Structure 1
Amino acid sequence: MNWKPEYTITDHLLLTMREIGEATGEIKSFGITPKMLARLELEARELSSYASTSIEGNPLPLTDVKKLLKTRKEHLRDTEREVLNYNRVLQALYTSVRSGKFTLNLKTLEKTQKQVVEGLMDNPDDCGHIRQAPVVIRNPRKIDEIVFIPPDAKDVPALLNELNNFVNTHIGKIDSVILAGLFHRQYVIIHPFMDGNGRTARLLTTAILGKAGLDLFEIFSFENYYNQNITRYFKAVGLEGDYYELEDSIDFTYWLEYFANGILDELQRIRKTLPETMPPQPRLEGHHKQILDYIHEHGSISQHEYGNISTRSLAARKLDFKKLIDLGFIEVKGTGRGTYYVISQVYRNL
């Protein structure tokens, strides 16, 4: 059985998606250097780690989260571990998507959830394993009030497989924003784990945005948008009632409009952080471009290889490599005579 979500491409959604494309293009047109891109990515991870855990009730303020991510504390409170877990998984997903190794399947879902809740759950059977028991979603303000009853545990694996297959078969066929948005809400509705569902959903949504081709997916935090009005987020993403009474009438239109608004809002926030006029970019000479072209063709370059294609002195060649490293275009690998240079991760994604 194939999952076929119901939704309508409204004028509002179409306009928002077009504005997302324009905002992304405008940000890229600023000539962002690799170092600036790395800074924006770091800020996005800080904000996402703060906001996504805050949505779940974590009381750590953003200032404390930023300090925590820059230190290596040995003795962690649960609130700190929760933030560090989120940041660690987010970094791993960035790398996985960039390298083309990200695959959406049950194994990925279980691995992500396990990393999210690591050290935070009493029952190890609930870490990295699809739930085997029923769950209910309660009103956080009235704990005795049941808001939603998710699918039975026996149906969860099949529902997840349908969702994963839908996403995998529609990459490149459905707009990345719509595809990621559909995944996000359906995952939350299925509620496949005993805990960590919201954080896992938001992390995997980020990865799907990147996998499906949304440029600069690493530099914005849609979690930040949700955290500004948590009640609205829960109302938009969730359902009220019994899943089996609602499954044939679930419409994703309003959620997709909300989801797209969140991405646009974040892109516009980033745009405002960039200066109106960018400083002049450092000029690359022909020999610098020669290095970059060689790496693009062969994957890497060593001092010896550069010497074979260049007439510049050894001292000048060392300065050429240093300049490209300082600008963030390349990074050094190996040591001693085994030293070589490759394109930096951030430059590769420009």
Structure 2
Amino acid sequence: MSWTPDYTISNKLLSTIREIGEALGELKSCHLSDQDLAKLEIEARELSSYASTSIEGNPLPLTDVKRLLKTRKEHVRDTEREVLNYNKALQSLYADVRSGKFKLGIKTLEKIQGRVVHGLIDNPTHCGALRKAPVIIHNPRIIDEVVFIPPDSKDVRKLTGDLFKFIERNIGKIDAVILAGIFHRQCVIIHPFIDGNGRTTRLLTTAILGKAGLDLFEIFSFENYYNRNITRYFKAVGLEGDYYDLKDDIDFSDWLEYFADGILDELRRVRKALPDQSKPKPRLEPHHRQILAYIEEHGTITQREYGGISTRSLASRKLDFVKLVKMGLIESKGTGRGTYYVRVS
């Protein structure tokens, strides 16, 4: 029997996915050169390398991470190596997804984990291989407090394989955001490695977003969203208790809403950070053109006059004037009830 996660596509999740599509469409409509896109990708990798390692306790600030990735030091501390490993793995995944070489599967998962922990752990059996020993998740603030007991090591390969089969089977059938979100949480729950689980999972999640068809996946860092409230992230993605007591009742619904929120939040950040000359001009709707045509014919227009030619609500009519003023197409004259609008010369 194949593994199938339990989740409900709520109205909130649908709305967020729709907004993600609109945000991507808006970004694609911007006049971005290859140089602009390359700059955004570098900035996203810097932010992801900082945020994803920061989530795991790396103390390096973003300014140091940016400097490190530019200088490429040869002799580095473990905290610096952790960042460099993440950045290198992310670059490799970007290239593989773009070229069509990225393949879902345990071998890829092991390869990425090997890159993540390279030079950071002493036991070579824990590098680039699924775990063969038990792990226990403790409360980071209270070391002796056990929060979660992941699946036994004997079940890890099958659980991980079932997860990849589900993702592969549903690419093109289920929205990319939902698929990547399901992978992210289930991989964290399985905890397939002794070390590097969180970083490896977030890296593969990025690749799955791209493979499943989410455009411009390289220019935003959903890890940044998690890093702004790490406690909330851990609570949303994880479980509390013994996996075997919980496995039949795991529901992904709340997590998927949170996951989608993170992607939308990052797309808005990228959109806001774009230079003004790259941003597309706001579109004029028919009612905006109606206002401009009236002014062309009569020289001016008032709220009352607009109300006489439009069926839109008073609140909407006021917003129409606000938008045209912000666009620099009209300006207001007079005050109070004597306010009227003219074209900007």
User: What's the TM-score once normalised by structure 1's chain length?
Assistant: 0.79
Matched, 1:11 2:11: yes
1:4 & 1:169 partners in 2: Cα distance? 11
Where do 1:89-238 residues align within 5 Å? 89-238=89-238
Offset at residue 279 of structure 1 (A): 8.4
Check the 8 A contact 2:30/2:279 in 1, yes or no: no
Percentage of identical aligned residues: 74
1:106 & 1:272 partners in 2: Cα distance? 38
Cross-structure match for 1:24 = 24
1:133 & 1:177 partners in 2: Cα distance? 32
Cross-structure match for 2:298 = none
Cross-structure match for 1:307 = none
Offset at residue 111 of structure 1 (A): 0.4
1:199 & 1:111 partners in 2: Cα distance? 13
Offset at residue 80 of structure 1 (A): 0.2
1:104 & 1:121 partners in 2: Cα distance? 25
1:73 & 1:52 partners in 2: Cα distance? 20
Pair 279,213 (structure 1): closer, same or farther in 2 beyond 3 Å: closer
Cross-structure match for 1:80 = 80
1:77 & 1:55 partners in 2: Cα distance? 18
1:97 & 1:253 partners in 2: Cα distance? 27
Cross-structure match for 1:62 = 62
Matched AA of 2:269: R
1:35 & 1:2 partners in 2: Cα distance? 45
Matched AA of 2:80: E
Offset at residue 74 of structure 1 (A): 1.5
1:75 & 1:276 partners in 2: Cα distance? 40
Check the 8 A contact 2:41/2:219 in 1, yes or no: yes
Offset at residue 182 of structure 1 (A): 0.1
3-state SS of 1:144 partner: coil
Matched AA of 2:195: D
3-state SS of 1:148 partner: strand
- Residues 119-157 of structure 1: per-residue CA shift (max 9 Å, x gap): 000111100111011001000000000000000000000
Offset at residue 201 of structure 1 (A): 0.2
- Which stretches in structure 1 are left out of the alignment for 5+ residues? 281-350
- Residues 87-113 of structure 1: per-residue CA shift (max 9 Å, x gap): 000000000000001001110011000
Pair 279,18 (structure 1): closer, same or farther in 2 beyond 3 Å: closer
Offset at residue 31 of structure 1 (A): 1.9
Cross-structure match for 1:342 = none
3-state SS of 1:174 partner: coil
Offset at residue 275 of structure 1 (A): 3.1
2:184 & 2:145 partners in 1: Cα distance? 25
1:169 & 1:140 partners in 2: Cα distance? 36
Cross-structure match for 2:314 = none
Matched AA of 1:199: R
1:233 & 1:36 partners in 2: Cα distance? 31
2:157 & 2:278 partners in 1: Cα distance? 50
Where do 1:20-59 residues align within 5 Å? 20-59=20-59
1:43 & 1:92 partners in 2: Cα distance? 16
2:178 & 2:170 partners in 1: Cα distance? 10
Matched AA of 2:126: D
Larger radius of gyration: 2
3-state SS of 2:143 partner: strand
3-state SS of 2:144 partner: strand
User: What's the TM-score once normalised by structure 2's chain length?
Assistant: 0.80
Matched AA of 1:206: T
Count of residues in Structure 1 that have an aligned counterpart in Structure 2? 280
Check the 8 A contact 2:150/2:191 in 1, yes or no: yes
Cross-structure match for 1:250 = 250
1:51 & 1:279 partners in 2: Cα distance? 27
Pair 278,109 (structure 1): closer, same or farther in 2 beyond 3 Å: closer
Offset at residue 73 of structure 1 (A): 1.1
Offset at residue 211 of structure 1 (A): 0.1
